Amino acid sequence: MKELILGKLSMHALPHEWFTIAGSVSFLLLALTIVVVLTWTKRWKWLWKEWLTSVDPKKIGIMYFIAGGFMLLRGGLDAIMLWLQQALSAGEAHGYLTADHFQQIFTAHGNIMVFFVAMALIFGLINYFVPLQIGARDLASPFLNTLGFWLYIGGVIMVNMFFFLGGEYAATGWLAIAPLSELQFSPGMGVDYWIWSLQIAGIGTTLGAINFIMTILKMRAPGMSLWRMPPFTWGSLCSMIMVVTVFPLLTATLFLLFFDRYFGTHFFTTMGGGDPMMYTNLIWMWGHPEVYILVLPAFGVFSEVVATFSRKRLASYTSNVLGMIGVATFSLSVWLHHFFTMGASADVNAFFGVMTMVIAIPTSVLVFSWIATMYKGRIQFKTPMLWFLGFIGIFAVGGMAGVVLAVPPADFQLHNSLFLVAHFHSNVIGGVLFGIFAALSYWFPKITGVRLNERIGRYAFVAWVVGFCLSFIPMYILGFMGATRRLDHYDSATGWQPLYVLMFIGGLVIAIGVALQIIQIIASFMQRRRLRDTTGDPWDGRSLEWATASPPQAYNFTTIPQVEQRDAFWHMKQQGLPKPAYENIIVPKNTGAGIYISAFAFLASFGFVWEITWLIVASIIGVLAVFVVRTFNDDVEYKLTAEQVRKLEAERKQKDEAEQQRKAPALGIDNSEDMGLRDFTKAAATFGLDVIRNKRWRTWQKQN
């Protein structure tokens, strides 16, 4: 009877290890804090109406940033734990993690960083800025947008669920290669959590990509041909087309693994005629293009940043775009380089080795185009440009390491060594993450209306680069010395320990860099009077997103701009900006359908993990029911008349002016320049004391 209701759930599933208790308590405390703040400030309805059910891609973008940022901290904590273990665990000492726990941590670290940090932050950027850049008001399907976001959140919850119930995550590495991930060798529910968190998030990603492609191809402003689109939009288009091409492969493969575990089929089992090597083949067919999916929007961001901060237009737009298309196309023909050592023999290895090296060519075209843009430009070393410079150095080294690995005989030595780990982290951190940082610092004024504190930004950048070098240069060296990846313990006679300790220290320096980035944001808001962006165009930008207020109104533009050239906004500024005009705007209504469907999808997945049949059936019915109700509901939009738009614009102008007049908090800082760390500490202390002494929390409640 209990089995019927609860499936495989039991008291034993509740947290009883130190890390599951710690994790559960942390999450609960966080949830409690949020609940308390929302109740105290009476903001539940506001949260639901203004944010959770919103279909505005700008709001959804910000929610992606918040969730992705949070998961970055979670994945970063995993990394620190791993480094600490490796620094301690040499010879007689065995560190503080069991081998199995260590394996779960590196699995979770990989999954979280790829799926729940990088994809989320990139989706946030595309959501926010592609409609602005192409002169559109919204994405093609606002409903699919919110659905995709909440499915992602379902994945986030699922990947953290094991803390509360089950106590174990997959211990198989981030791709859960068969047969280790089969029931025979992973009998617990960890791999099931792995499967379903990726499956939900993956479907959300695919739906989102379809939405972005529809938007870019069908909703550009009049006059904006494909060859007049900004490079970030191009990078996003290439990336999203890749998503729709390869994520179905992942979805299918995950279903097959799920079938093996749940129904006892024999796709990848060692017995019954299954072929585990086919799993490796299929999963890397997805896995390799995935990393290019992550990096192409970053390339697009860098093209914009380099042009803006060199005060020059992008040198050779055509080769830049063709480079991105080339990377996207070739990335579909290289996947076997992840398993040169599996034994497919010389001709197969040679073909894929050559194709892997060929990818360096379009990538180099991009690098040369950026360098050519900087040449004879008037370079401004603002934060976004600093991130670009960090990227160029680190990504190039990582790329060269990749070409080394592309040679099969060399790979036979270096496969699954720390050299490999250093290679892909150089590319993912140097390329994707620095790209995201550059994008966020470039577009921060647009999103918030406040420019970023440059001084602390420089400190953060230096900390990141120093930390990265401290962590990853030893890793390259260790790779050559023979250290393999995923080692939780090694012989002290190897002499590796000092390098592992260096890596851990580097990790701490990176953590300082992250802290500095958070401080940078807080400090910018503290000095917002000084750093306010009143024009909407703080960098003298070239593309259409700068033609709006900071932050933009919900409908982006009062009238859709007419585009005549590449660098549309730059051109408009030369011609003289058009007078404001107003027209009727059709606005999509908010909807909770995305939340409900994702909640049911999450429950169904939970049911699959714990084999609770009634929950599975009920949840699937729930998904279908909400979907049908939503899609057969024809009343999903409302109209804003031109008069109403004009009023909204006038109100906005008034609000901005009132904001400027408001008294700044007396924080005792010099507002003539960006504050440094000492000033920040002083200001934070003053603010904190002020809050405590004058019991300011009471006024917050009253204000709301």
Q: By CB under 8 A, name the binding residues for other proteins.
A: 140-141, 144, 206, 210-211, 213-214, 217-220, 222-226, 241, 244-249, 251-253, 256, 259-260, 263-267, 269, 272-275, 277-278, 281-282, 285, 332-333, 336, 342-345, 347-348, 586, 624, 628, 631-632, 634
Q: How far is 535 from 512, CA to CA, in rounded Å?
A: 33
C-alpha torsion angle, residues 551, 555, 557, 563 (rounded to 10): 120
Q: How far is 604 from 617, CA to CA, in rounded Å?
A: 7
66 vs 624, beta carbon nearer other proteins: 624
298 vs 359, beta carbon nearer other proteins: 359
The DSSP letter of residue 417 is B
Q: Which residues contact 133 (CB under 8 A, 6 or more apart)?
A: 229, 230, 232, 233, 543, 544, 545
The DSSP bridge partners found for residue 587 are 638
241 vs 414, beta carbon nearer other proteins: 241
Closest CA to 435 of 572, 687, 232: 232
Using a CB cutoff of 8 Å and minimum separation of 24, what contacts does 90-94 make? 90/489, 90/490, 90/491, 90/492, 90/494, 90/496, 90/497, 90/500, 91/491, 91/492, 91/493, 92/492, 94/489
The angle that helices 434-448 and 57-88 make with each other, rounded to 10 degrees, is 140
Q: Which residues contact 386 (CB under 8 A, 6 or more apart)?
A: 457, 458, 461
92 vs 634, beta carbon nearer other proteins: 634
379 vs 587, beta carbon nearer other proteins: 587
Minimum Å gap between C-beta 49 and other proteins is 25
266 vs 646, beta carbon nearer other proteins: 266
Q: Please name the residue ranges forming H helices in 270-359.
A: 276-309, 317-330, 346-358
Minimum Å gap between C-beta 227 and other proteins is 9
Minimum Å gap between C-beta 210 and other proteins is 5
| DSSP 3-state of 328 | helix
Minimum Å gap between C-beta 581 and other proteins is 18
| DSSP 3-state of 140 | coil
244 vs 322, beta carbon nearer other proteins: 244
Minimum Å gap between C-beta 3 and other proteins is 21
91 vs 272, beta carbon nearer other proteins: 272
> Could you tell me the CA-to-CA distances from 670 to 608, 660, 673, 677, 679 in Å, in that order?
58, 18, 7, 13, 8
412 vs 480, beta carbon nearer other proteins: 412
Minimum Å gap between C-beta 296 and other proteins is 16
275 vs 540, beta carbon nearer other proteins: 275
Q: How far is 309 from 306, CA to CA, in rounded Å?
A: 5
Q: How far is 438 from 388, CA to CA, in rounded Å?
A: 7
Minimum Å gap between C-beta 255 and other proteins is 8
What are 517's two structure tokens? 């980035």
Query: From its phi and psi, is residue 138 left (phi > 0), alpha (psi between -120 and 50) or beta?
Result: beta
> Could you tell me the CA-to-CA distances from 136 to 73, 252, 541, 578 in Å, in that order?
33, 34, 18, 17
Whether the CB-CB separation of 388 and 306 falls below 8 Å is answered with: yes
325 vs 389, beta carbon nearer other proteins: 325
Q: How far is 468 from 332, CA to CA, in rounded Å?
A: 30
Length of the chain measured in residues: 704
Q: How far is 235 from 630, CA to CA, in rounded Å?
A: 32
Q: How many CB atoms lie within 10 A of CB 79?
A: 20
Minimum Å gap between C-beta 476 and other proteins is 30
32 vs 342, beta carbon nearer other proteins: 342
Q: How far is 53 from 596, CA to CA, in rounded Å?
A: 10
Q: How far is 58 from 131, CA to CA, in rounded Å?
A: 9
Minimum Å gap between C-beta 584 and other proteins is 10
282 vs 372, beta carbon nearer other proteins: 282
338 vs 382, beta carbon nearer other proteins: 338
299: Cα within 13 Å, side-chain hemisphere: 33
Q: How far is 319 from 289, CA to CA, in rounded Å?
A: 21
Minimum Å gap between C-beta 218 and other proteins is 5
345 vs 661, beta carbon nearer other proteins: 345
Is the Cα dihedral 168, 173, 177, 180 positive or negative?
A: negative
Minimum Å gap between C-beta 252 and other proteins is 4
535 vs 584, beta carbon nearer other proteins: 584
Q: How many CB atoms lie within 10 A of CB 658?
A: 9
Minimum Å gap between C-beta 281 and other proteins is 6
The DSSP letter of residue 584 is -
Token match 């941590």: residue? 105
Minimum Å gap between C-beta 144 and other proteins is 8
Minimum Å gap between C-beta 222 and other proteins is 5
The alpha carbon of residue 50 and the mean position of all alpha carbons in its chain are separated, in whole angstroms, by 23
Minimum Å gap between C-beta 569 and other proteins is 18
Whether the CB-CB separation of 266 and 260 falls below 8 Å is answered with: yes
Minimum Å gap between C-beta 348 and other proteins is 5
Q: How far is 293 from 302, CA to CA, in rounded Å?
A: 15
